[in-house]
Amino acid sequence: MSVEEFKTRREEIPELISETDLSPSEIANIIRVTEKTVIEDLKHIAKSKKYGRLLILPARCRNCGYTFKPEIKVPKRCPICKSMWIEEPRFKIEKI
């Protein structure tokens, strides 16, 4: 992948999530990259000031309702009930 394509993709994510909140797998499906790449890009977007503020709607355990800390990652297992039925975190850009 060239440097130009790379730049374009990182610009695309903030645009997608400025309208509506999306989960990493939803973003990955739309722009056709892996979820891991989306997570890396979101971390970059969170650090950069130019896109606006990155809001994190935290992941949640669908089994016991435990709410995870708002972090840029997708937890695999609930620390309380050990369930792997986890609702992904969602991300949105708030324009400053």
Minimum CB separation from Zn ion for residue 73, in Å? 17
Beta carbon nearer to Zn ion, 43 or 66: 66
Single out the residue of 61, 66, 64, 49 nearest to residue 14, CA to CA: 49
Backbone φ and ψ for 53, nearest 5 degrees, come out as -95, 135
Q: Which of residues 36-55 bind Zn ion (CB under 5 A)?
A: none
Backbone φ and ψ for 5, nearest 5 degrees, come out as -60, -40
Q: Which of residues 54-93 bind Zn ion (CB under 5 A)?
A: 61, 63-64, 66, 78, 80-81, 83
DSSP 69: P
Minimum CB separation from Zn ion for residue 68, in Å? 10
Number of residues that bind Zn ion (CB under 5 A): 8
DSSP 20: S
Q: Which two tokens stand for residue 45?
A: 């977007």
Q: Which of residues 2-31 bind Zn ion (CB under 5 A)?
A: none
Interface residues with Zn ion (CB under 5 A) are 61, 63-64, 66, 78, 80-81, 83
